[in-house]
Amino acid sequence: YRLLPTLIGMMGAAYPELKRAEALISETLKLEEQRFKVTLERGLKILDEESGRVKNKILPGDVAFKLYDTFGFPLDLTQDALKAQGIAVDTAGFDKCMEEQKKTARAAWAGSGDTATEKVWFEILDEFGPTEFLGYKTESAEAKVIAIVEDGKRVEKLSAMGTGTVITNQTPFYGESGGQVGDEGRGEILGKGKYFTVIHTQKILGKLIGHHILNEEAAIEVGDTLSMNVDHKMRSAIRANHSVTHLMHEALRRVLGAHVAQKGSLQDADRTRFDISHPKAMTPEEIQKVEAMVNQEIGADTPVETRLMGLEEARETGAMALFGEKYDDEVRVVAMGRREGNRVFSIELCGGTHVKKTGEIGAFKIVSESALSSGVRRIEALTGDRVAAFKEEKAQQQAVAHGRVKAENDKLRAEMASLGGAVSKEIPTDTAEMEKENKKLQKEISDLRRQKATQSVDASGDVKDIGGMKFTGKVLAGFPPKDLKPMADDLKKKLGSGVIVLVATDEGKASIVVAVTDDLTGRVSAVDLVKIGAEALGGKGGGGRPDMAQAGGPNPNAANDAVGAIEKALAG
């Protein structure tokens, strides 16, 4: 990434986008270098282990391929790293593994199956030309059926209760493209008085608009005239989400920097999803700034202007075009937001449907921001009534969470007091602060319980001598199993030398820990002893080290029997 300024100095005049995106390119290169450093270190470590197993000074091809395929370690680096040790790589074996992977991938990919159908679409386009889209001005229109495609083939009619794609000479339905989903709606076969449902609309070959139809009552035939009616509620929600994406795009560029560019999008009736070039997660403050900026434009309720103009003229107005996107000589320019000098807040080339005034969007809220891939972030946002519904749901979730945390806090405070511990008189009201106090109380309660349990062993004088070894065993009712090992460690220190058995009974189960001081592990093993205790508790197995082992069982009523069984085994 340190070479970037030199590259821009040499190539910036020919490629001005390099200068505009310098910060993004630099950050992305830096992150990629850091990631590759991790890959390199991990790969070299694995390679060092594998080279120790090499026979005949040749690293097997499947091992080199595993390094490449699983860990991202390139073959040439593997060869370079081994050269100094005089080890070669079985490249033929590597190539064989690579070919097998390609065969597997090809077999798993069933393909789109659209090749034959595409020929049909080209025939229809050549015969009738593009579908005329009327949806910018109306949501209802009459149209003539010019072609029907069913199961990839042209047919003359679509039977009742059948599904297929109907092409008309014109339509108010927007075909899915540019990130905006297609319209849905209803229609009538004029002259027959029968109805059908448009379940999806798709732009085909960039020119035709295909209506995916569920035909419910009567056959639709080529030549029929249809009354086509877009679902108004769905269209309104989609265009609000599409329009807000334009405002969000500009706000993101202003808050994060001019390097931000659209990398993908989806606008449906529920939300907008927008992918952008940006090397790191947005901060809460950045998200709030974007939301405030967009909501300010929505609140201004300014008209959304659309104009058809030549591509070069559009670029001269400052309209934002998507890098790599192909445009016709004549393009549709969408401008929205308040005017700032000679330009409005947002100007973009776009063929989608939009609100007439920004106020129709209602409200805007970012609900998710996450990483999609290296250098690309994904943002999901809501508009209109869904913002209020989201906030209400969030408030309810927070209220439930607060109630749960408060109940836990009350319980922990009462438990702390019963153990004789000190409890602050100030009760936090904020959920996050209460959660912090709960964690603190849980640790203090755990320490107190262990301390009291350890003291009770000392006070009761129940340390026995078995075969020249000190032994103590204790059953702890309602004691958390996670605290058994720390308590056993405390008792090992107090005993100096000996065997400790602790059984905790909690929530209808029993857990057992056996600890053996280091000086006795040559005579007895904690693992062997804990298995004896587990069997008495109705359990099996158990594991750990010779000095500390743990197991469990379903029968807490046998806790004393477990201690007795281990004591008996030691007495041998």
Which residue, among 191, 177, 181, has the nearest Cα to 144 in the 3D structure?
Answer: 191
Residue whose structure tokens are 């590759």: 36
In a domain, 453, yes or no: no
pLDDT of amino acid 181: 96
The residue among 383, 401, 431 that closes a domain is 383
Q: Which domain holds residue 411?
A: 391-445
Note whether 257 and 358 are same-domain residues: yes
When the pLDDT of each residue in the chain is averaged and rounded to a whole number, the result is 89
In a domain, 305, yes or no: yes
In a domain, 455, yes or no: no
Of 82-86, 160-164, 310-314, 455-459, which range is least confident? 455-459
Q: Count H helices, E strands: the chain? A: 15, 26
Note whether 347 and 263 are same-domain residues: yes
DSSP code at position 333: E
Tokens for 343, please give them. 């330009």
- Convert 495-506 to b/e letters by CB count within 10 Å (16 or more is b): beebbbbbbbbe
Give strand pairing partners of 470.
465
Tokens for 147, please give them. 């072609």
pLDDT of amino acid 524: 94
In a domain, 333, yes or no: yes
Residue 554's pLDDT band, with cuts at 50, 70 and 90, is: very high
Q: How many CB atoms lie within 10 A of CB 399?
A: 11
Note whether 471 and 551 are same-domain residues: yes
Residue 32's pLDDT band, with cuts at 50, 70 and 90, is: confident
Note whether 349 and 244 are same-domain residues: yes
Give strand pairing partners of 264.
275
Say whether pLDDT at 511 is over 80.
yes
Helical (H) or strand (E) element with 386 = helix 385-418
Say whether pLDDT at 82 is over 50.
yes
Amino acid at 375: G
Percent of the chain with pLDDT over 70: 95
Question: What would the pLDDT profile of 361-418 be if each residue is shown by its tens digit?
Answer: 999 999 999 999 888 999 999 999 999 999 999 999 999 999 999 999 999 899 888 8
Note whether 96 and 213 are same-domain residues: no
Amino acid at 314: A
Handedness of CA 416, 417, 420, 425 (dihedral sign): positive
pLDDT of amino acid 114: 53
Number of domains in the chain: 5
Residue 553's pLDDT band, with cuts at 50, 70 and 90, is: very high
Note whether 479 and 513 are same-domain residues: yes
Task: Look at residue 344 and give its three-state secondary structure.
Answer: strand
**DSSP output for 256-323:** H-TT--EEEEEE-SS-EEEEEE-SSPPPHHHHHHHHHHHHHHHHHTPBPEEEEEEHHHHHHTT-B--T
Task: Look at residue 355 and give its three-state secondary structure.
Answer: coil
Note whether 120 and 217 are same-domain residues: yes
Say whether pLDDT at 111 is over 70.
no
Question: Parallel, antiparallel, or unpaired: how do β-strands 58-59 and 88-89 relate?
Answer: parallel
In a domain, 100, yes or no: yes
Amino acid at 544: G
Note whether 240 and 370 are same-domain residues: yes
Q: What is the pTM (predicted TM-score) of this model?
A: 0.65
Q: What string of H, E and C letters represents the secondary structure of 9-33?
A: HHHCCCCHHHHHCHHHHHHHHHHHH
pLDDT of amino acid 103: 79
CB 463 within 8 A of CB 470: yes
Of 244-248, 285-289, 376-380, 462-466, which range is least confident? 462-466
For residues 454 and 473, give the distance between their C-alpha atoms in angstroms, rounded to a whole number. 11
CATH number at residue 164: 2.40.30.130
Alpha-carbon distances, residue 204 vs 166, 215, 226 (angstroms): 12, 21, 20
CB 179 within 8 A of CB 353: no
Note whether 306 and 199 are same-domain residues: no
DSSP code at position 46: H
Amino acid at 353: T
Task: Look at residue 159 and give its three-state secondary structure.
Answer: coil
Note whether 374 and 466 are same-domain residues: no
For residues 381 and 241, give the distance between their C-alpha atoms in angstroms, rounded to a whole number. 8
The residue among 60, 91, 108 that closes a domain is 108
Question: What would the pLDDT profile of 314-369 be if each residue is shown by its tens digit?
Answer: 777 777 766 556 666 778 899 999 998 888 999 999 889 999 999 999 999 999 99
In a domain, 294, yes or no: yes
pLDDT of amino acid 282: 95
CB 110 within 8 A of CB 125: no
pLDDT of amino acid 57: 87
Note whether 65 and 21 are same-domain residues: yes
In a domain, 420, yes or no: yes
Q: Average the pLDDT over 520-545 and give the result.
A: 91
Residue whose structure tokens are 């029929």: 224
Say whether pLDDT at 454 is over 70.
no
CB 372 within 8 A of CB 353: no
pLDDT of amino acid 326: 64
Instruction: For helices 232-256 and 284-300, give the axis angle rounded to 10 degrees.
Output: 130
In a domain, 450, yes or no: no
CATH number at residue 507: 3.10.310.40
pLDDT of amino acid 570: 92
The residue among 230, 255, 274 that closes a domain is 230
Non-local CB neighbours of 427 within 8 Å, separated by 6+ positions:
409, 413
H helical segments located in 109-148: 115-128
Note whether 467 and 362 are same-domain residues: no
